[in-house]
A and B are shown apart, each in its own frame.
Chain A
Amino acid sequence: MKTTSLLLKAAFCLAAWVGWVGWLGCAPPLAAQDEPARVDGIILGADNQPLANALVTVFSAAPRDGQHSTVGIKHYPDCGKHTRTDAQGRFVLKDLDKELLFRLLVTAHGHRPDYIRDADPQFGGAQVKLKPLRFTNVPPSQRIIAKIIDPAGGPVVGARIEVGGTRYGDVSYSSATTTKVDPMAVSDEKGEFFLDCANDVSALTVTIEGPRLAKQRAWLDTGKAHLIRLKSGVTVTGRVLNGGKPVPQSTLTMDTQDREASVFLRGFEVASDSSGRFKLTHVPADTALMIYTRIKEMEETGAGLPARKISTASEGSTLDLGDLEMSRAYMLRGRVLLSDGQPVPARTRIYLGLENGYDSKNITLDPDGWFEFLGVPADQISLSVRIPGYRVSAKNPNKDWLNEGRLVGRLEKAWEEFYIHLERGNAFSPSDGPATDRQPRDKPLQPAKIEGA
């Protein structure tokens, strides 16, 4: 009896699989040249069954030719277009720009939202399998309900709500969320969404992003219904120059200067156009931000913008930064030395971070402890390396005495041999070290002073 039942189930699954694969097979392999571009596909549930009534939204887009986007990727006209799957879990999004590739955001009742990446209107068959929600059937006191509206008072459809942290009681905050709440929600056609939380959570900090609207950070208390108003924001423009010449396709990044959990926003990005001009739209109003070039881009181009602070004005305004001159990026090549002469353990990683921007890079030390970073701006940076049983010694002039394992300082030139000295011992006590300048961010970065090195 049991065997029969299993066999029946297997047969049913096979039939379903053949069914939707067959349907995909029937989809046109290429969109006809003159037809309006469309993306179609199918959404499956955790049980591999097609999911009806799933909401599929265009979340972001990017040029298909691999160029950097000169429009904010979440602010293309197609962003926000949405549809629902039919009874067979199928969906079609029509009238899309065929020169773009899309990231779709999919959500369905009882399931965790997920993305379909690089959905191509010139090819069919986008698909994703949604996992079930981790937190269900919680009491009303642990559910967060919200509605998002735009400046015209209308519902914002397809907004992504990302959980950044949780609060216990009224004061304790944790950025660890996986065991407390599902990581993401998406607003429906009424602009509504909910998030269910574990019992001890009293609030969540979330980032809310809607198409062609300024993203927002907010604390949402559990057990309450929240009204969230997204704004259009402001526009930041300027021109990127290198040696006085316009630089096309240079990607600029912005984050809020304040990194406190309830206000920190990051990931505002846009590339300059052929005349070096850039236009970042839907940036939060009345906010201080840092604008800079990411390390990855500087690695490629050898130049970039060190972080600088800008302040946006009131809603609807435009901030023109004028001409922004790039400066050269440096190489930082060096070696981690252990005081006892031992080789560094295999797979030891070293991290380089920008102190004034939210960007970092990490690489693995070679067996002799050597490392090499390219594309490092002339700016305040940090270097972190941790090896169990060792600590950053006082021989490193830029030792961060407040954070074990770190050096901080201002990079002012390229380095071929930058030594970082680690010695045996436990982390220093907070009372150790110099009385002043315990976190020498503004001190020129200097290698460790080691005799014979």
Chain B
Amino acid sequence: MSPNHVCAHRRVQGTVLLNLSIAGWLGLAIVIAPGPAGAQRAPIRVNSPNAESATQHDHDMTVTVQSPEGRPLAGATVTGPFLRSSRPEAAQAGEPVTDERGQALVRFSFPFAQLPNVNLTVRHPDYATREIVWSGEPPAVVQGLPTNYTVKLAPLITVGGIVRNDQGQPLPDVQVTFFGRSTSIGYDGRISVRVQENSSLPLSGPDAVKTDRNGVWVRKDFPADLTELAIEVLRPGGAGTQFGTGRPGMMGGGELSLESLRQTNAVLIVPDGVSVRGIVVDERGQPVPGITMMERGGSMMRYYYFTNGTDGRFELTHRVSADLLLGIRSPQHAAQSVPVLLEGKAPPEIRIVLTKARPMRLRIVGDQDEPIPAARVQTLDYRNRGLLLDWSESTDADGRVVWTNAPNQTMVMMVTAPNYPPRQIRLKARDEEIVVRMRQAPAESIQVRVTVVEAGNGRAIAGATVRRGFRYGDDTEEWGKTDANGRFQAALTAKDMTQSYDRQSFAISALAEGYSLWSSEERFMFAEGDLELTMELKKSRPPAGIVLQPDGQPAVNAKVALNPTQNPLYSYQAGDFQSGGQGVQYTRTAQDGSFRFTAAAEDNPLVITHPTGFAALTIEELLASGKVPLQPWAQVEGVLRSSGKPVPRERVVIRSPLSWMSVESYRFMYSTTTDKSGRFAFTNVVPGEHLLYRMPRVVNGPNTESHRLAFTVKPGETKRIDYTFGGRVVTGFVNADGPVDWTLDAHVLVAKQGTAPREPAYYGLGGQAGYKKARRAYVNSPAVLDFERKQQQFQLLFDADGNFRVEDVPPGNYELRVQVSQPPPPNQARSRGYSGERRPIGNLYKEVIVPPGEAGSKVDLGTFELAVQLPPSERTPPISFQTTTLDGQRLDLTVLRGRPVVLAFWASWAPQSPARLADLRSAVTNLTSGTNITFVTVNLDEDPALARQGVAGLDRGWKHTRLEGTARAEITEKLSVNTLPLTLVLDPDGSVIARDISGRRLVSTLERITRKLAQK
């Protein structure tokens, strides 16, 4: 489980944390405002251990807090789970506080060593709050914590803007809430322990920022180093709209510009949305007033609590999401949840009928059947789709607890008890008391009892096949068959669960001849214990049909794929489709073109391929006609050109559908390489709309779609494409202030165009089917398709120094997007590129203009500065070694500390050495600021005469040395000097801050260091 996941399910005092898409994206915990008075909440432990006993693990750490300039900061508080101060005076205050040296001695007391992550938060009134996360495979995290840790806090700046509705009117008194971070948070189980830091925004509480009467807001405690941000604007009445950086159109509100925020002129347009009206009545139909209700979905970040009026009615205004979930909290009535579909228009009045409350009595006992007092029982949002519950209570001295108005449905609840790992359990209120046994160790097996019946009449279906699935996407395997009573029972063991993609969850489905396929919408959790399930199968004709060739003749031996999984089928080779996982059923047509499957659901897709053509349809469509005419394959041929010349040996790709967000049943992607004349061709192309793009072979990281071109091809057509934009050759230079491997990431020029059409903020609160429907409607809408067609970007090709170039870019407005990841450790750089975890260490977003000009003419965008931030754990330690000067003196590198040093390793046998030395000489000459930089050459030749000859003329301020004997092998290994010449730039502390740089990047790096020193 990722740290994001852990956070997303956490509750803390007075807050609720939701696991919604924005939280996953930002990797943040999202805090919800307190509910009405009387809501019962209490903290629970969040980092769930496995089967570990309650052994205490203590760890002391000295945390040093510094200002951005490195000055010690007194008065900073250090907090975190499992943390207590070991300073007596601070312990009284409850939180460790840094002293005048900026230090706080803190003690972690871990109840378990099996923690995947450990967090610390450092707060200071004058600086941005900083969060530190150590993560890795347990127990390495707890065991690998450092004893000293230094953290630098970022300064605070002011941001602001104006909020308007979609009529352009300013909106006063709306609340503006922020979530953001400065660096990404990742978790990689393969690496023992990682430490990551990010600045965070204090979450808006009662003193949240609000707009004034002109719709204007400002916030003065904004961390200066935030690079990603989400904002929710919350109207009075609970309607929220979200905005985010970098992901246009994903959250209802649109894209957010950090630059405009910093200039305090960000414009946030909030749609007026629709109103939801309803009435609450009792079982006799009489309105019931004064019922407390809550809503999820109106705001992404909060539950909205409200009470209906004296006439039993309620109204929720300005709702913009596509679905909502309403919950009833009446002491006398059973808790109830009501999903509401909006889809852009006001729904009919909702009628909620209250039912009589039914208590759920629980008794929590331990391993030895001993009652557990003070155990906490609470509802879980994320495991109860379609339910909006908000209840928690603690057991009494006998381990008993009663939920007086429990809902009528089965639900999953969480139980936490002292000295036991937390337990999730599936429960339903019944007349007798339910005993929940806490366990030190997970269960070895659970019982799954299934009853398969016919929908509508409840008649048992004998001989139905029950299938179970462990992989993601409902891939299932046969488990057994139901008996004469439609029942099937089997044990699921912990060993079985090792097949599960997450080792925790499984899916179940059932099929029977003459019925639709039934699949569980949710994945069941092994830890939740025994499972009882009734599957209601709808009567249906068997999925069978006849496939016809385009000429009307039966298609013999056509491949028919029935896909009951959530994963699409893929085609990477001409004329064939495959599934990424298991669960897809395949068959071949007979001599008369006929085929047949046992059972399927109506919305299951079929994909059919034959040498003569292709078809994609749903089971529902198949059953309507019984015949499937194939569309003939199309062909695509073309020539790739740039500046009027053919581009040979370039990888070009076609794919469909246009949008990756699509929920189509198949995805199609063919790639090829242009020949020496720039020609390319694709056969067996599915008729329809496709995207053609270039994929230059320069990136070790994620692939990029460059020079995108949308086109449509008709059935049987041979499409000819002249693949060029008649654009210009764009060059530039990115001046990074740290080590960068440009090949690890895709850097692009992105054409500026309007934001994407607003995506319905659909959470699938009521179920998957509605979610799919809404998503398909959105993705296939003309506005979205048009947006996708116009999306354009051009991949930049970088050299090692940071110079970039890209051809065939049409004039226009673009955003330069450069993102750099931390280079891999030398021993993990493999032949096919680095495939391990990538962590961003810097990015650059800049608007640029490519002016009109002749096709093929050059335009230089100039120099761009890129700040590289290596995580603290990755900064290199100061380097030190001894070498010998060319006149025989020993030189210890440590004597040069206190000023920057340029180390140039070279040898006469390395042909580029003279040029690099000349480059260094030129750099010294071109330095405009002071020259307190020491230049040290390190020669690796056998013959000292060659060394002297090579550095002749490099006199003033230079130190010329050479390495010989074992030092030559040992020091070059220690410093990874694997190619020559090699330049290392050391900061005054002796740490490597740039590696293998030359030319203007070297000059600008040295300039920057000199400037920084001058400022100090």
Residues of A within 8 A of B955 (CB): none
Task: Tell me which of A140, A154, A221, A261 has the highest count of chain B C-beta atoms within 10 A of its own C-beta.
Answer: A154
- CB pair B979–A170 under 8 Å, yes or no, is no
- State which of B329-337, B784-792, B966-974, B1000-1008 sits at the interface with chain A: B966-974
Whether A153 is near chain B, meaning CB under 8 Å from some CB there, is yes
Say yes or no: A152 contacts B979, CB within 8 Å: no
- Min Cβ gap B649→A in Å is 7
- Bound form: Cα–Cα A155–B907 in Å: 13
B698 contacts the other chain (CB 8 A) = yes
Q: Which residue of A lies closest to B703 (CB)?
A: A171
Partner of A151, one of B940, B963, B969: B969
Q: Cβ of A152 and Cβ of B965 under 8 Å apart?
A: yes
B664 close to chain A: CB less than 8 A: no
Closest Cβ neighbor of B696 among chain A residues: A169
> What residue in chain A is nearest B831 (Cβ atoms)?
A262
When distances are taken between beta carbons in the complex, the residues of chain A under 8 Å from B940 are 147, 227
In the complex, what distance in Å separates the CA atom of A247 from the CA atom of B508?
Answer: 57
- Nearest Cβ distance between residue A148 and chain B, in whole angstroms? 11
| Residues 465-493 of chain B, each 1 if its beta carbon lies under 8 Å from chain A, else 0 | 00000000000010000000000000000
B954-969 CB mask vs A (1 if < 8 Å, else 0) is: 0000000001111111
Report whether B972 and A155 are in contact in the complex, using a CB–CB cutoff of 8 Å: no
Which residues on the B side are within 8 Å of A229 (C-beta)?
Answer: 969, 972-973
- Residue on A nearest B906 in the bound complex, by CB: A225
Q: Is B859 an interface residue (CB 8 A)?
A: no
B964 touches A225 (CB 8 A): no
Q: In angstroms, how far is the closest chain B Cβ from the Cβ of A143?
A: 8
Q: Could you say which of B133-141, B304-312, B575-583, B617-625 contacts chain A? A: B575-583
B969 to A152, Cβ gap below 8 A? yes
Interface stretch (choices B67-75, B168-176, B597-605, B909-917): B909-917
Task: Please pick, from A171, A200, A263, A432, the residue contacting B832 in the complex, using a CB distance under 8 A.
Answer: A171
A219 within 8 A of B: yes
**Is A142 interfacial (CB-CB < 8 Å)?**
no
Q: Which of B586, B831, B969 contacts A165 (CB 8 A)?
A: B831
Contact B979 A226 (CB under 8 A): yes
Which of chain A's residues 180-207 have a Cβ closer than 8 Å to chain B?
Answer: 190, 192, 200, 205
CB pair A151 B966 closer than 8 Å = yes
Chain B proximity mask over A221-263: 1 for CB below 8 Å, otherwise 0: 1001111010000000000000000000000000000001111
**Are B831's CB and A145's CB within 8 A?**
no
Contact B978 A226 (CB under 8 A): yes
CA distance A289 to B116 in the complex (A): 31
A429 within 8 A of B: yes
Give chain B nearest CB distance to A371 CB in angstroms. 33
Give a binary string over B742-773; 1 marks a CB under 8 Å from any A CB, 0 the rest: 01000000000000000000000000000000
Are B578 and A430 in touch, CB under 8 angstroms? yes
Q: Are A431 and B910 CB-contacts (below 8 A) given A170-B697, A227-B980?
A: no
Complex contacts, A152 vs chain B, CB 8 Å: 965-966, 969
B979 touches A224 (CB 8 A): yes
Q: Is B699 located at the chain interface by the 8 A CB criterion?
A: yes
CA distance A169 to B980 in the complex (A): 21
> B551: CB under 8 A from chain A?
no
Which B-chain residue is minimally distant from A153 (CB atoms)?
B968
In contact, B578 and A431 (Cβ under 8 angstroms): yes
A226 contact set on B, CB distance < 8 A: 978-980
> How distant is the Cα of A429 from the Cα of B578 in the complex, in angstroms?
9
CB within 8 Å for A435 and B477 given contacts A168-B697, A170-B699, A190-B942: yes
What per-residue 1/0 map shows which CB atoms of B687-710 lie under 8 Å from chain A?
A: 000000000011110000000000
* Interface status of B830 (Cβ within 8 A of chain A): yes
Q: Given contacts A147-B909, A170-B699, A430-B578, is CB(A155)–CB(B978) below 8 Å?
A: no
Q: What are the residues of chain A within 8 A of B968 when measuring CB–CB?
A: 149, 153
Check A171 against B942 for contact (C-beta < 8 Å).
no
At the interface, yes or no: A76 with Cβ under 8 Å from chain B? no
Complex CA gap A170/B966 in Å reads: 33
- B584 within 8 Å of A (CB atoms): yes
Q: Does A372 contact B (CB under 8 A)?
A: no
Shortest beta-carbon distance from B977 to chain A in Å: 6
Question: Which applies to chain B's interface (DSSP): helix, strand, loop or mixed?
Answer: loop
- Complex interface: chain A residues within 8 A of B576 (CB): 429
Tell me the minimal C-beta distance from A265 to chain B in angstroms: 14
Given contacts A152-B966, A167-B831, A260-B831, contact A227 B978 (CB under 8 A): yes
A13 to B743, CA, bound (A): 55
Question: Is B930 an interface residue when CB atoms closer than 8 A count as contact?
Answer: no
Chain A contacts of B912 at CB under 8 A? 225
A-side contacts of B700, CB under 8 Å = 170-171
Q: In the complex, which residues of chain B have a beta carbon less than 8 angstroms from the beta carbon of A261? A: 831
Q: A150 — nearest CB in chain B belongs to which residue?
A: B969
**Residues of chain B within 8 A of A168, CB atoms compared:** 697
**B910, A173: Cβ atoms under 8 Å?**
no
Contacts of B965 in A (CB 8 A): 152-154
B285 contacts partner chain A, Cβ-Cβ < 8 Å? no
How far, in Å, is A250 (CB) from chain B's closest CB?
A: 34
Contact B910 A145 (CB under 8 A): yes
A172-B697, A221-B979 as given contacts; A149 in contact with B969, CB under 8 Å: yes
Chain A positions within 8 Å of B586 at CB level: 429, 431-432
Which chain A residue has the least Cβ–Cβ distance from B973?
A229
Residues of chain A lying within 8 A (CB to CB) of residue B697: 168-172
A444 to chain B, nearest CB (A): 21
Docked pose: A165 CA to B832 CA in angstroms: 12
Given contacts A227-B940, A429-B576, contact A435 B582 (CB under 8 A): yes
**B980 touches which of A167, A172, A205, A225 (Cβ 8 Å):** A225
User: How many whole Å from B969's CB to the nearest CB in chain A?
Assistant: 5
User: Could you tell me if B832 and A173 are in contact, using CB atoms closer than 8 angstroms?
Assistant: yes
Asked if B833 CB lies within 8 Å of chain A CBs, one says: yes
Rounded to whole Å, the gap between the CB of B507 and the closest CB of chain A is 14
Whether A170 and B698, one on each chain, are in contact in the complex, defined by CB atoms closer than 8 angstroms, is: yes
Chain B residues with CB under 8 Å of A149's CB are 968-969
User: Of B698, B909, B910, which one neighbours A190 at CB under 8 angstroms?
Assistant: B909
A145 contacts which of B833, B911, B978 (Cβ < 8 Å)? B911
Q: How far is the CB of A353 from chain B (nearest CB, A)?
A: 23
The complex places the Cα of A172 from the Cα of B559 at a distance, in Å, of 32
B584 neighbours in A (Cβ, 8 Å): 431
Give Cα A149 to B697, complex, Å: 33
Point out the residues of chain A lying under 8 angstroms from B967, CB to CB.
153
Contact across chains for A227 and B977 when beta carbons are under 8 A apart:
yes
A442, B979: Cα distance in complex, Å: 44
Contact A153 B831 (CB under 8 A): no
Please name all residues of chain A whose beta carbon is closer than 8 Å to the beta carbon of B972 when the two chains form the complex.
Answer: 227, 229
Which of B477, B649, B831, B942 meets A173, CB within 8 Å? Answer: B831
Q: When chains A and B are docked, how far (Å) is the Cα of A370 from the Cα of B783? A: 67
CB contacts (< 8 Å) of B911 on chain A: these are 140, 145, 225
Known: A170-B833, A225-B907, A225-B910. A153 touches B698 (CB 8 A): no
> Measured between alpha carbons, how far is A173 from B697 in the docked complex, in Å?
12
- Residues of chain A from 293 to 342 with CB closer than 8 A to chain B in the complex: none
Instruction: Report how far A140 CA is from B911 CA in the complex, Å.
Output: 9
Report the minimum CB–CB distance from A263 to chain B (whole Å).
8
| Per-position 1/0 for B568-580, Cβ under 8 A of A | 0000000010110
Chain B CB within 10 A, most for which of A153, A168, A263:
A153
Q: Chain B residue with minimal CB distance to A438?
A: B582
Q: Is A169 in contact with B698, judged by CB distance below 8 angstroms?
A: yes
13 sampled A-B residue pairs with Cβ under 8 A: A140-B911, A145-B910, A145-B911, A151-B966, A151-B969, A153-B968, A173-B831, A200-B649, A227-B972, A227-B979, A227-B980, A229-B969, A260-B831
**Chain B contact residues, CB within 8 Å of chain A:** 477, 559, 561, 576, 578-579, 582-584, 586, 649, 697-700, 743, 830-833, 907, 909-913, 940, 942, 963-969, 972-973, 977-981
User: Which 8 pairs of residues, A with B, have the shortest CB-CB distance?
Assistant: A169-B697, A225-B910, A153-B968, A262-B831, A153-B965, A435-B582, A153-B969, A224-B979
Q: A153-B963, A225-B911, A431-B584 are in contact. List 7 more A-B contacts (CB 8 A).
A: A169-B697, A170-B698, A225-B909, A227-B907, A260-B830, A431-B578, A431-B579
